[in-house]
Amino acid sequence: MLGEQLEQVLPRLAALQRQGVVSTEKVQIVERAMQKLSRPDLHPQAVETAEQLLTQYAPTLGPSDLRRYALHVVNAADPDGPEPIDDQLQQDRRYVELKQRRDGMWHLAGKLTTTVGAQLTAILDPLTKPRTTTLEDENGQTTQIPDERPHGQRLHDAVDEACGRLLKMKDQPSVGGVQASVIVTISLEELLAKTGLAETSDGSMLTADQLLRIADEAEIWPTIINQNNVPLALGRSQRLASRGQTMALITRDGGCSFPGCTHPPSWCDRHHILDWILGGLTDLDNLTLLCRYHHTHFLQKGWTCRINAAGLPEWIPPWWIDHDQRPQINTRIRRLRAQRGNLRRRRRTPDAA
């Protein structure tokens, strides 16, 4: 600002940029890498070698390859990494930002302390593993359908499952003596037609399909209004399965009933096969246990559920997965059924001794 001539920070990179052989994106990649090596305690020769290597390969490598190469160069020049940030500085820098965008989605950003990050990773890592679907033919041969979700989507769905588990806890935060609830307003016509938007008490908008999905299990109070915006009825939470019904579902299903899923009952929702709000009864022949992922996504993937003549939940795959659409029953459910059958037969058989 005073007219003093400043020396170039990365002269080799500057020369390449003047010649037009590296893009702005590549310049930023190299700059970020060298910024990580700007600590005064690093050996100058290691920093010099790192700059030479990065500027040598920047013109020939693509941005993604250059980014990976820069990571290896930084690790080689600084194998021990930077000094850990002290606890007080971490506390000063911690923050989480959660805002709803105009398109209805939520933006999440922030910095977590070492402790919170480790705890969150321990919670989400097991839930982020790929979820395969198992199909079985009449000969007992199984086919594994891989999980096509990228890691970012699996991580999002892990957060969804963790939030669902938290909302079920008895000691969850309460407001005015009522456990955490969501009040949603939608017109009766839009609800039945599954069109339009529902508005929550904080102004967030949900589609009718989203409302029906979460209202199946969460503590949702839908206020149904007529065309004159007059409330017709206030929904009650009596649609939720009783404790006895829940125990019966756990005994029958043993966890998520979707084919190939191994999630235990404690991580499952009680799902109405025919939506409760559309007339489905809260009876065992209209209920099954589903993990949060399959509760949220199975309809989008073309699967349907029904209770068969034996009283077991079976899933019908879409025709593009199985042209014959043969019903599938979770292996765990079949095993539990067989075990109980064997136990009853043993009880009926007199003791040979």
pLDDT for 223-264, tens place per residue? Answer: 545 554 444 443 334 567 777 778 878 888 888 999 988 888
C-alpha dist (Å) from residue 342 to 224, 252, 312, 348: 49, 15, 17, 10
pLDDT more than 70, % of the chain: 78
What does the buried/exposed string (b/e) look like for 292-321 if buried means 16 or more CB atoms within 10 Å of the residue's CB? bbbbbbbeeeebebebeeeebbbbbbeeeb
Q: Model confidence over 105-160: pLDDT tens digits?
A: 889 999 888 888 888 888 888 888 888 888 887 777 888 888 888 888 999 999 98
Structure tokens at 306: 């029904």
Handedness of CA 237, 242, 243, 247 (dihedral sign): negative
Task: Label residue 127 left, alpha or beta by phi (over 0 means left) and psi (-120 to 50 means alpha).
Answer: alpha
Strand bridging mode 182-187 / 220-225? parallel
**Domain ranges within the chain, ordered by starting residue:** 11-77, 90-165, 181-239, 243-346
> Which of the pair, 223 or 324, is modelled with greater confidence?
324
Contact 30, 13 (CB under 8 A): yes
- pTM score, whole prediction: 0.51
Strand bridging mode 95-100 / 313-316? unpaired
Pairwise CA distance, residues 269 & 250, whole Å: 11
Structure tokens at 352: 């040979």
C-alpha dist (Å) from residue 48 to 33, 92, 145, 190: 12, 34, 50, 66
Beta bridge partners of 269: 290
248 by Cβ neighbours in 10 Å (0-12 / 13-18 / 19+) ranks as middle
Pairwise CA distance, residues 121 & 230, whole Å: 46
Amino acid identity of residue 188, one-letter, is L
Q: Model confidence over 39-72: pLDDT tens digits?
A: 887 888 888 899 889 989 889 898 889 989 999 9
Pairwise CA distance, residues 327 & 251, whole Å: 21
Asked whether the predicted pLDDT for residue 269 surpasses 80, the reply is yes
Query: Residue 182 — pLDDT band, cuts 50, 70, 90?
Result: low
Q: How many CB atoms lie within 10 A of CB 288?
A: 28
> Which of the pair, 92 or 304, is modelled with greater confidence?
304
Asked whether the predicted pLDDT for residue 291 surpasses 70, the reply is yes
